[in-house]
Structure 1
Amino acid sequence: MRQLNEFERFVIEQKGTERPFSGEYYQHSAKGVYCCRKCDAPLYLSEHKFNAHCGWPAFDDEIPGAVNRHPDADGRRVEIVCSHCGGHLGHVFEGELLTPKNVRHCVNSVSLHFKPLEEEQAGEPMAKATLGGGCFWCLEAVFKELKGVHSVISGYAGGTEADAEYKRVCSGHTGHAEVVQLSFNPDEISFETLLEVFFQIHDPTSLNRQGNDVGPQYRSVIFIHDEQQAQSANAMITRLNEAKLWDRPIVTQVSAFDGFYPAEDYHRDYFAHHGEQPYCAIVVRPKVDKFRAQFAALRRR
């Protein structure tokens, strides 16, 4: 059994609850297994996780036999515990229609310990890039084709509210931008190469719009994760402006990364699943075709 600190004991052994939006796994999106913090028993797979915008990690399934359910003393909720050690995880809810499985395990981050996939454990270098350039369906479809990019997740970043949800973001009132977050191997593809593709597949001179998509959520923005990314982004913008590739100056923002909110599940792989939908056919497909023509050497084989 793992030695627990005071707060971990409060949640896991005394059935407490962590504050919403405060847990380390609320926005977590890596691939792997979520285990019990106390006994290390596997509980959930990363593919079970979804963004319920509730303030805590949410899962719509569990590893068979890993989780037990008990009615709360008040009879209004159902508690979930680790079947191996009995540690408190959170509560389970049904009938909310948030995913096709219609189940939400609402779990305290502090009750969990995450183990990444073996290839990531083996020491393969991975880095993050977070980019906004209009509708995230377009960016996701292109970046998924790049060699060295291991995952592309559509979502929201750069806002002033403590959470992000599609309709509120589309109102323009939350300050978030639609973005994609990339997990990439810098030994296979550089951050500078990602930026080269980024600047070719959207209009970086258009303020708060891309085509008919208008609003601050569609702004051109690079959320930098470290000082090297900041230097690379600013240097590239300077070079592109000097080259006068566009009639107007670049308005792309370079901002410090301050959090990422994965988009709702129905946005995932949107172009792959809805390629014949009018927006995809008219807006997304031309961007994908342009990428394939200009960056053939960078594509997955």
Structure 2
Amino acid sequence: MQKLTEFEQYVIEQKGTERPFSGEYVNHNAKGVYLCKKCLAPLYKSEHKFNAHCGWPAFDDELPGAVNRHVDADGRRVEITCAQCDGHLGHVFEGEQLTANNIRHCVNSVSMVFQPIDDTNAVSNTELATFGAGCFWCVEAIFAALKGVVEVKSGYSGGDAHDANYDAVCQGTTSHAEVVQITYSPALIDFESLLEVLFASHDPTTLNQQGNDKGPQYRSVIFCHNSAQVDAANQMISQLTQTQVWPKPIVTQVVAFEHFYPAEHYHDDYFAKHGEQPYCQMVVKPKLDKFKQQFADKLKG
């Protein structure tokens, strides 16, 4: 997470609003990608932006899975937040007939940071993948090591509750799975390669269990963000079944992505920060070492 100024905290974390026509991106027209100021998750492409003459940056589309919507407490407006960190962005309006998409994301400039398209470090044309494969400490460490992976965030998906936290998920009261949400560049690594790593790095034949970790929160699951991911996931499972890579039936679920709830901050980069802890030494490190040997050509330098 990025360090925020006092005013950025007011807008992003306390749901404040900057003054109209005061933000740096109101009349900004460069080509590139707008990212969340707090967690740097990609939100909007520059081609989504239009001049709504409203005093704040306006967008008539978003990157898939990037933005969540919440009805305000008074029921009058719909708030939009970053799907990855829940940071406040602004509000969304429909029916104004300002563009062909007939939608306006009214976003605070201070909630975003811009990456120009010609910046060699730009996070443009990225996509999301969301996988459950047991304890997210293990899964995060593996996918974070891959070339083309911009960020890996631990969290929870697939439950009935409208919120999730580690204690509730572990108790099985929310039906969520421990997952990682992966921001990746398709130009450097494709979804099929991510699936290959997923199935090589956990046992997809054990129902609600990975090793000694037992419970529905540890289920094997692919939360698909679009129909192409559904097709790729089903094709991969069919191929693995036909070639009998696994001696038992694959029980991995393939379901539509709905919501991602970021895990508590102390889970971020857990293995990198706590690699000497017994669980990390006995469970995470052996998995990571085996993975690095098997996928050496896909690792970051």
- Alignment partner, residue 52 of structure 1: none
Q: Which residue does the alignment assign to 1:46?
A: 38
Q: Separation in 2 of the partners of 1:243 and 1:37? A: 60
Map Cα deviations across residues 256-292 of structure 1 (whole Å, 9 max, x no partner). Answer: 0001000000000000000010000010001110111
State the partner residue of 1:200: 200
Deviation at 1:115, TM superposition (A): 2.5
Task: Specify the alignment match of 1:221 in structure 2.
Answer: 221
Q: What is residue 129 of structure 1 aligned with on the other side?
A: 129
Q: CA deviation at 1:112?
A: 3.6
Give the TM-score normalised by the residue count of structure 1.
0.65
- Residues 230-281 of structure 1: CA distance to partner in whole angstroms, max 9, x if unpaired? 0000000000011112221100000000010000000000000000100000
Cα separation, partners in 2 of 1:125 and 1:242, compared to 1, 3 Å = same
1:129/1:223 contact within 8 Å kept: yes
Distance 1:127 1:190 in 2: 10
Shift of 1:117: 3.9
Residue in 2 that maps onto 1:283: 283
Matched residues in 1 for 2:17 and 2:297: separation?
A: 40
Counterpart residue identity of residue 253, structure 2: Q
Q: Which amino acid aligns with 1:41?
A: G
Give the letter aligned to residue 215 of structure 1: G
Distance 1:35 1:194, change over 3 A: farther
Q: List gaps (5 residues or longer) in structure 2.
A: 1-11, 25-35, 42-86, 92-106
Counterpart of 1:147, as a letter, is K
Question: Once the two structures are superposed, what CA deviation does each residue of 1:195-238 show, in whole Å capped at 9, x if it has no partner?
Answer: 00000110000000101111100000000000100000000000
- Give 1:137 shift: 0.4
The answer to whether structure 1 residue 249 and structure 2 residue 249 are counterparts is: yes
Residues 35 and 41, structure 1, Cα contact 8 Å, conserved in 2: no
Counterpart for residue 274 of structure 2: 274
> Contact 1:241–1:250 (CA<8 Å) still a contact in 2?
yes
Distance in 1, Cα, partners of 2:182 & 2:244: 28
TM-score by length of 2: 0.65
Deviations 1:65-101 (A, max 9, x none): xxxxxxxxxxxxxxxxxxxxxxxxxxxxxxxxxxxxx
User: What is the CA–CA distance in structure 2 between the aligned matches of 1:205 and 1:125, rounded to whole Å?
Assistant: 34
Cα RMSD for the two superposed structures: 2.6
Q: Percent identity?
A: 51
In the aligned structure 2, how far is the partner of 1:205 from the partner of 1:193?
A: 20
Q: CA deviation at 1:35?
A: 7.7
* Cα gap change, 1:275 to 1:259, in 2 (>3 Å): same
Q: Within 5 A, what are the aligned runs for 1:1-301? A: 36=18, 38-41=20-23, 45-46=37-38, 109-110=90-91, 112-113=108-109, 114-119=111-116, 124-301=124-301
Q: Aligned partners of 2:37, 2:125: CA distance in 1, in Å?
A: 22
What is the distance in 2 between the residues matched to 1:296 and 1:48? 27
CA contact (8 A) 1:208 1:220 kept: yes
SS in 2 for 1:46: coil
In 2, Cα distance between the equivalents of 1:142 and 1:245?
Answer: 21
**Matched-pair contact (CA < 8 Å) for 2:123–2:150:** no
CA 1:160/1:37 → structure 2, altered by over 3 Å: closer, same or farther?
farther
Go from structure 1 to structure 2 and tell me whether the alpha carbon gap of 1:128 and 1:116 turns closer, same or farther (over 3 Å shift).
Answer: farther
Distance in 1 between residues matched to 2:186 and 2:113, nearest whole Å: 18
Superposed CA offset, 1:98-153 (max 9, x none):
xxxxxxxx968447454344157968211000000000000100101100000000
Alpha-carbon separation, structure 2, partners of 1:277 and 1:286: 13
Contact 2:23 2:108 in 1 (8 A): no
Number of matched residues? Answer: 213
- The one-letter code matched in structure 2 to 1:144 is A
Using a 3 Å threshold, how does the CA distance of structure 1 residues 253 and 291 change in structure 2: closer, same or farther? Answer: same
